[in-house]
Amino acid sequence: MTELPGTGSCSQPYRVGFLLVDNFTLIALATAIEPLRMANQMAGRELYTWQLVSDDGQPARASDGIAMLPDAAISDRQCFDLVIVVAGVDVIHSYSRRDLNWLKALARRRVVLGAVCTGAYVLASAGLLDGYGCSAHWECLAAMREGFPRVRCNNRLYTLERDRMTCTGGSVPLHMMLSFLARRHGRALANAVSDMFVCDRMREDSEQQPVSLRQQLMAVQPKLAEVAQLMEANIEEPIELQELAQLAGVSRRKLERLFLKHLDCSPSRYYLKLRLDRARRLLKQTSCPIVEIASMCGFVSATHFSRCYRKYLGMAPKTERLMVSGCPTSMDVLTEPLVQVTSASRHALRMARLEPTYGEFNGAVLPTH
């Protein structure tokens, strides 16, 4: 992998800007900044400076409702060596045209560009990831692959390629920044920073995003995992169950028993759920017509798609789309005076309605200890 520009020793601090996109995830911001702070502490000098930047210099609200006061607006004359886009919930409706133009101007000046969580979507929207490998939170990968075919999306934790660095969400920015520090200053400093955060190891960029509990279970049954992977790779043109069994080298009856035993459902039901989950993400994260989404998810007609969607998800696709368009956008929420938002958790829940996973446990009995 090609080293990032500006990785040589330099007497001047390396200047990092963090562009806060409305409803960014606070954990992604914190885990990206803290390694820089600790590198300075461990080095005993200012290796790095950082500033928070927003579209207009006004407070940016995180996905948990906490408002962050930026140091500058994008219109201010700031000089950066690296700018990282920090995004999160409802990224499709959260960035502005000014953000994209600013990022394009930075790219022309050969500023290194990065993104954490769903921030890669913003860089891709500006055309700044065309031809690059890209890592992003698994929840927005479907929308990115559909919307930006020239971006080489992957499922790795993070990707450092040429003058771009992208990663998934949660605590992964910590590992991307540790790798960044190792490239600039050697592994000794990166390991020391890692130790200070009680991090047992620096995760490699080749590692994949964590798999779900079901996928971990399937790893115990290789044939089950093989069939599930075939299903995931053939959403638009579903494979018949008999052919799936033949490709996996098992009988149809045995395949059905494996699914019932380990996943508590039939193969056809599992396949349908994969297709409906994909459809739900596309409904919420893209503007593709419902007819196109039905086709992309392997349904013979929009009528068949609507019937299945209503039966298993409790509402029609059109209703799902209307709920998204009817929810407050990030800009709508930011125009409310901060004093009117009495509950940060309520704000977070309002914005979470836009996410594909919203209500996934609706109806389940959850412990309340």
Same domain, residue pair 343 and 318:
yes
Judgement on whether residues 125 and 42 belong to the same structural domain of the protein: yes
Residues 189 and 227 in one domain: no
Q: CATH number, domain at 316? A: 1.10.10.60
177 and 222 housed in the same domain: no
Residue 5 lies in a domain: no
- Answer whether 36's CB lies under 8 Å from 100's CB: no
> Is residue 340 domain-shared with residue 274, that is, in the same domain?
yes
* 150 within a domain of the structure (yes/no): yes
Q: Read off the pLDDT band of 93 (50, 70, 90).
A: confident
Q: Which domain covers residue 302, as residue numbers?
A: 213-352
One domain for residues 148 and 220: no
pLDDT the model gives residue 10: 53
Average pLDDT of the segment spanning 223-227: 86
Closest CA to 116 of 164, 151, 82, 166: 166
| pLDDT score, position 367 | 39
172 and 25 inside one domain: yes
- 179 and 34 both lie in a single domain: yes
The phi and psi torsions of 149 (rounded to 5 degrees) equal: -65, -20
CA distance from start to end of the chain: 47
Secondary structure of 189-254 in the HEC alphabet? Answer: HHHHHHHHCCCCCCCCCCCECCCCHHHHHHHHCHHHHHHHHHHHHCCCCCCCHHHHHHHHCCCHHH
Residue 231 lies in a domain: yes
In a domain, 6, yes or no: no
If one counts the domains in the chain, the total is 2
Percent of the chain with pLDDT over 70: 82
> Is residue 172 predicted with pLDDT exceeding 60?
yes
What pLDDT score was predicted for residue 127? Answer: 95
Q: CA Rg, the chain, in Å? A: 22
Examine residue 33 and state whether it is found in any structural domain, yes or no: yes
Average pLDDT over residues 328-340: 41
Whole-angstrom Cα distance, residue 267 to residue 276? 14
Per-residue pLDDT at 368 exceeds 80: no
CATH (domain of 91) = 3.40.50.880
Which has the minimum average pLDDT: 104-118, 204-218, 335-349? Answer: 335-349
Residue 362 within any structural domain of the chain? no
Within this chain, do residues 275 and 239 fall inside the same structural domain, yes or no? yes
Q: What is the pLDDT of residues 59-68, one digit of tens each?
A: 999 998 899 9
Q: Are residues 162 and 269 in the same domain?
A: no
Q: How far is it, in rounded angstroms, from Cα 311 to Cα 121?
A: 32
- The answer to the question of residue 64 being in a domain is yes
Residues 190 and 330 in one domain: no
pLDDT value at position 46? 86
**Max CA separation in the chain (angstroms):** 68
Q: Are residues 226 and 147 in the same domain?
A: no
Q: Which of 167, 196, 225 is the last residue of a domain?
A: 196
Residue 62 lies in a domain: yes
Lowest model confidence (mean pLDDT) among 28-37, 287-296, 322-331: 322-331
Q: What pLDDT does 1 receive?
A: 41
Residues 6+ apart with CB under 8 A from 330: 22, 23, 61, 90, 93, 94, 351
Q: Rounded mean pLDDT of the chain?
A: 83
